[in-house]
Structure 1
Amino acid sequence: MAEESQAARGRFDRWFEAEVIQPMTDFQDGKQEWRRLVSEFLGTFFLVLVAAGGGMMGEAFPDTIDRGAAVVAPGLMVLAIILFMGKVSGAHLNPAVTLAFSLRGDFPWRRVPGYIIVQLAGAALAAWFLTLVIGVSSSFGSNYPADGYSDWSAFTMETVLTFGLVSVILGTASGAQNIGIIGAIGVGSYIALAGLWGSPISGASMNPARTFGPDLVAGDFTGYWVYIAGPILGAVIAVGAAFVLRGYGGGRAGSDAAQGVLHTEVQNPDKA
């Protein structure tokens, strides 16, 4: 009995080391990095296609798209993107989310520049495509502080909204809620709800890449600092709140959600 108990303990220790202590093993495989970058590029492209497209379509066809539809559509798109590519790259789609996962200890810092570059590129391509097809300025699909409100008011709104968004993302990237329908519904629903009530003041961007693409193509970066500083500060606050609620990150569940799980070899403790 003692030998069996010791053997069982050894199997558990090997499983624990593989699944908990070393959660980033799969992500160290450089052969998979290009897939993750392509995934982030495509995901951000489709997000901005819908997010910026709502405003631009509304300008081209004033009687067909109202504000409610324009702000709910990005939430539905994010839900779909998480489901179809969440396990490839983690479906960050947002530099603030990438930074939050890294601060949380779930995502390697050396991968951050590549993710942010392809997110910005995907957003810019989407804005250019919309301008080409719809024939209106991409500024109609961007985010700017509302008339009568200061940049600081919009900054505060973006900070609070992003704090909520990243809190939902980090929360649904934990334990049993890791990757899949729960996270997709939670994040998509939050984006839609935040847009419904928060968009009149700041546009409810919550994403530096989402605003960067239309601004770059339109050549108008008015108030853009709001959409960098607000989301980043909100993400940092959310990471602090996650520590208070759940302690340190870096566990298997959070890392799988942040990085994707391509070619992960799951070890069964009974067969190790």
Structure 2
Amino acid sequence: MIRQRLFAEFLATSLLLVTVVGSGIMAERLAGGNDAVALMANTLATVGGLYILIELFRPVSGAHMNPAVSTVMAMRGELSWPLLPGYIVVQLLGAACGAWLANAMFDLPLLEFSTKARTGLGQWLGEIVATAGLLLVVLRAPSSRVAAMVAAYIGAAYWFTSSTSFANPAASFGRMFSDSFAGIAPDDVPAFIAAQILGATLGAAINKLVGTADRV
């Protein structure tokens, strides 16, 4: 059972990065230099892929695909602490494998590093906002609507945050292995992850402050 859960998290995270990176490469090639068109294509693919992956893998592993989400779930007692390190390891490994698979499909070098700079106070603040919002959605969405609400939120946050809403330390790690529209330079990854950790902490705190809704 534990092996199935870990494999599900690995596979889900890998497929998420295939979706994000692969659609980013395709969008960049077809958009003719129009970044708005490329971002829209990248967004639509991510929204659809994320919805499907959550629906498929949530019954097995929770479909966290995100170390920040897994850590908050462990803090809430919804994931056992002994399982947390395994979740994080397979999420990071899955993210890297997903980026490598996307590179291979588009005849890019299997192992490459991004040169796309993503840095600055504005982008770090964007990641704090994106990740805090994601945790609020994950923690407060009705169980039957988690997949749709998470996918919709990430799709919206691609556009309303300055960072295009990575909101996921594993995604930040995996994207540095693709020198494409969806990539991030390795030197910029630590600050993004720090911002995501802060955002996840803030999201969990806000959720606690808001509390549960009164029945009317």
Is this a same-fold pair by TM over 0.5? yes
1:41 paired with 2:10, answer: yes
Q: Give the aligned residue type for 2:69.
A: V
2:66–2:91 contact (8 Å) kept in structure 1:
yes
Partner of 1:205: 166
User: Tell me, what secondary structure is at the counterpart of 2:186?
Assistant: coil
The letter of the residue matching 2:85 is P
Of 122, 136, 143, which residue of structure 2 is paired with 1:153?
122
Q: Is the 8 A contact 1:143 1:211 kept in 2?
A: no
Residue 133 (structure 1) aligns with: 105
Q: Which structure would you say has the larger Rg? A: 1
Report deviation, 1:245: 2.2
How far 1:34 moved relative to its partner?
A: 0.5
Percent identical across equivalent pairs?
Answer: 31
CA distance in 2, matches of 1:118, 1:157: 26
Alpha-carbon offset, residue 217 of structure 1: 5.9
CA 1:52–1:139 in 2, change beyond 3 Å: closer, same or farther? farther
Of 85, 89, 96, 1:124 maps to 96
Match of 1:206, SS state, is: coil
Residues 126 and 66 (structure 1), Cα distance of their counterparts in 2 relative to 1, 3 Å cut: same
What whole-Å deviation, never above 9, does each CA across 1:3-56 have from its counterpart, x for those lacking one?
xxxxxxxxxxxxxxxxxxxxxxxxxxxxx1001011101111111111111222
* Contact 1:143/1:202 (8 A) holds in 2: no
TM-score normalised by L of structure 2: 0.85
CA change 1:70–1:139 in 2 (3 A) is: farther
* Equivalent position of 1:62 in the other structure: 31
| In 2, Cα distance between equivalents of 1:143 and 1:36 | 33
Q: Which residue of 2 aligns with 1:196?
A: 159
Q: Which one of the candidate residues 96, 99, 114 is aligned to 2:68?
A: 96
Could you tell me how far apart the structure 2 residues matched to 1:143 and 1:43 are? 25
Tell me, yes or no, if the aligned pair for 1:47 and 1:77 is still in contact at 8 Å.
yes
Contact 2:132 2:200 in 1 (8 A): yes
CA contact 2:8–2:57 (8 Å) conserved in 1: yes
In the alignment, the residues of structure 2 paired with residue 84 and residue 222 of structure 1 have an alpha-carbon distance, to the nearest angstrom, of 34
Alpha carbons 2:27, 2:41 under 8 Å: kept: no
CA distance in 2, matches of 1:144, 1:114: 30
Per the alignment, residue 258 of structure 1 pairs with: none
Gaps of 5+ in 1: 1-31, 248-272
Paired letter, 1:58: A
- The total of aligned residue pairs comes to 203
1:126 CA displacement: 1.0
Q: TM-score, normalised by structure 1?
A: 0.68
Task: Say whether the 8 Å CA contact 2:17–2:99 is kept in structure 1.
Answer: yes
On the 8 A contact 1:59/1:136 being kept in 2, the answer is: no
CA RMSD of aligned residues (A): 2.3
Partner of 1:224: 189
Q: Given that residues 94 and 119 in structure 1 are in contact (C-alpha distance below 8 angstroms), is that contact kept between their aligned partners in structure 2?
A: yes
Distance 1:39 1:71 in 2: 24
Letter in 1 for 2:197: I
Per-residue deviation at 1:222? 2.4
